[in-house]
Amino acid sequence: MNTILEKAKQSVLQAGEIIKDNYLKPKNIQYKGRIDLVTETDLAVENFLKVELSKILPDSSFLAEETAGDAQLVNRTWIIDPLDGTTNFAHGLPMVATSVALWEDDQVVLGIINLPILNEVFTAIRGGGAFLNGQPIHVSNCENLEMSLIATGFPYAIDEHVDFITTALRKVLLSTQGVRRPGAAALDLAYLACGRYDGFYENCLKPWDTAAGWLLVEEAGGTVTEYGKSEFNLFSPNILATNSHLHDKLDDLLG
């Protein structure tokens, strides 16, 4: 698995060069929904990764954001978000990520999150810990909700969830040191894994948004569930991830 990780990481870093090359260029933007964007860079990165990762594991399949269709999780499935934070990318903001995970034996066994504009790459293998640019990372030790920094995100179907979002945000804002919303769930989970955030919650994410970050957080000592402490899976309607110390307290706020 270490060999697979290293080869996959190199492919993800090469894909990051595509993002860097196009970061300051004019964008060809299309809309998948009212506020859901896709650019030619999303498609180029996804296509590149599918070719390169197929070379590493020729018998593997793919569940990737822009070409998911009716694709299902089967053994040895690469789960890919080529450009998480497309809206940020389209506006020239640096909070963008490529997320790649490998699903095997009914679990995520490998995760890579690359932040190409910020020059940070996070990696994890199940049972092997989590790393940032090759150095071990761990979730924060914060145990006091009032001293915590929490991240969240807003789904594209904002009209369906705005009441929950505003109610939860008010509770969290009044109970913590602050809330951040960078606009890329993969980045949020990576930042939680390395201790920059103490917790993260969001509704309506997809498998490619959370697969690699889920493993990173758990390998860094954190906890990932749905709201209400239900077991998390890649098709869960929501995600609550914390440094473990604050999990029950943050979950109570969201209940």
Q: Which residues are annotated as part of the binding site for Mg(2+)?
A: 65, 81, 83-84, 209
Q: Quick count: other Cβ atoms within 10 Å of Cβ 217?
A: 29
Binding residue ranges = 65, 81, 83-84, 209
Letter string b/e over residues 164-192, b meaning 16 or more CB atoms within 10 A of that residue's CB:
ebeebbeebeeebeebeebbbbbbbbbbb
Q: Report, in angstroms and rounded to the nearest whole number, the Rg of the chain calculated over CA atoms.
A: 17
Quote the CA–CA distance of 142 and 197 in Å, as a whole number.
10
Residue 246 tokens, joined: 């604050």
Quote the CA–CA distance of 61 and 231 in Å, as a whole number.
25
Long-range contacts of 177-182 (CB under 8 A, 24+ apart): 177/146, 177/147, 177/148, 177/149, 178/149, 178/150, 179/149, 179/150, 179/151, 179/152, 180/149, 180/150, 180/151, 180/152, 181/151, 181/152, 181/153, 181/154, 182/85, 182/88, 182/95, 182/151
| Phi, psi dihedrals of residue 98, rounded to the nearest 5° | -110, 130
Q: Quick count: other Cβ atoms within 10 Å of Cβ 17?
A: 12
CB 25 within 8 A of CB 44: no
